[in-house]
Amino acid sequence: MKQLLKTLTETFSPSGYEDEIRKVITKEVKALADEVRVDALGNLIVRKKPSIGSKDARRIMIAAHMDEIGVMVTHVDENGFVRFTSIGGVYSRTLVGGHVRFANGISGVIGLEPTNAPNEIPPISKMFIDVGAISKKTCPVKTGDVASFERTFLDLGDRVVAKSMDDRIGCLVAIEALRALKSTPHDVYFVFTTQEEVGTHGAQTSAFGINPDLGFSIDVTGWGDTPGQRDFDVALGKGPAIKIRDGGMLSDARIVDWMIRTAEKAKLPYQREVLLGGTTDARAMQLVHGGVPVGCISIPCRYVHTPSEMVDFNDVKNSVKLIVSMLSNPVSI
Ligand code: CO
Ligand code: ZN
């Protein structure tokens, strides 16, 4: 599982450019699914049909986003320095001294204009990417090219660190749940979505297309267990977090209840999550057609939206177990 996570997180796929990660995931899920297709926005839709003779099958959609935050070139100056803007929630304080990699394999380092306030965090507009070019003419990247953070996977034992743990860890949980799910009474759609980081776009169209009876997303959430963190009751290693609300959504109370009852019955650790900022694909899923009851299973993650996002592998394994238990039994919602 860790080897697959390393591959998933080291794959290049900022929002809107999910081809590479979709190939990696397709290879993993093809033999496990009854149906695999790609929709117009690039969402990878992986269906597991209900076992023969099962009554009361519900159509359940589970979303994990494939895309990651990154940067996009706004222009290249005469001397070959690359100016850029963000794709998704990129914080300038995480950029200085970092590396990025473009789709064509070109890497660059992030440099900074001189400043009179060296202790202040400069805005992205004062930064540039140096790809080693000496002129605009010879610069190997151009306006509109996209790059992602470049950082190798780090295995610290129970804790693992990588770029794009948001949300490749959710993709891993979905893949492993599909692998472990021998049969289900439900019509299950695992959807590996596109463009979450720029506004949950892939989840919106795929949920509309699938028209599920109910569903949930699998995504990272924040953490409350490092020095100075406040007002967030989620820690690494204490189990999957069952989302009750976030900055964009109130989970459906019946879905929350289903998750908690299942966790307790299976004797799995879990945490109750109330996140004040941020949201997930579930927000978009909730609002299609006449509305869909949804929730979210969150993997606690430190340093979200930096190039070094950390999760606890026990939370990952327990998230897989929770989802398999949920999908193995009838649902009364
Ligand atoms: Co994110
Ligand atoms: Zn995410």
Q: How far is the CA of 198 from the centre of ligand 1 (A)?
A: 9
- Residues marked active site are found at 196
Q: How far is the CA of 128 from the centre of ligand 1 (A)?
A: 23
| Residues bordering ligand 2, an ion, CB closer than 5 Å | 166-167, 219
Helices (H), 129-252: 165-180, 201-210
Q: What domains appear along the chain, each with residue ranges and CATH number?
A: 2-68+163-328 (3.40.630.10), 70-149 (2.40.30.40)
What is the spatial distance between Cα 229 and Cα 226, in angstroms, rounded to a whole number? 6
What would the pLDDT profile of 211-229 be if each residue is shown by its tens digit? 999 999 999 999 999 999 9
> What's the whole-number average pLDDT of the chain?
97
Minimum mean pLDDT range among 16-30, 49-63, 266-280, 291-305: 49-63
22: nearest Cα among 42, 51, 3: 42
What would the pLDDT profile of 160-198 be if each residue is shown by its tens digit? 999 999 999 999 999 999 999 999 999 999 999 999 999
Residue 151 has pLDDT above 90, yes or no: yes
What would the pLDDT profile of 109-142 be if each residue is shown by its tens digit? 999 999 898 888 899 999 999 999 999 999 999 9
Q: What percent of the chain has pLDDT over 90?
A: 95
The mean per-residue pLDDT over the stretch 259-281 comes to 97
Per DSSP, 13 falls in state -
What would the pLDDT profile of 293-315 be if each residue is shown by its tens digit? 999 999 999 999 999 999 999 99
Q: How far is the CA of 16 from the centre of ligand 1 (A)?
A: 14
Nearest bound ligand to the CA of residue 202: 2
pTM: 0.97
Residue 166 and residue 309 in contact, taking contact as beta carbons nearer than 8 Å: yes
Nearest bound ligand to the CA of residue 170: 2
If you search the block for the tokens 């020095």, which residue do you land on? 227
Strand partners, 311: 160
Q: How far is the CA of 89 from the centre of ligand 1 (A)?
A: 7
Q: How far is the CA of 134 from the centre of ligand 1 (A)?
A: 34
Residue 36 has pLDDT above 90, yes or no: yes
Minimum mean pLDDT range among 31-35, 119-123, 253-257, 325-329: 119-123
Nearest bound ligand to the CA of residue 299: 2
Torsion sign, CA atoms 308, 273, 16, 87: negative
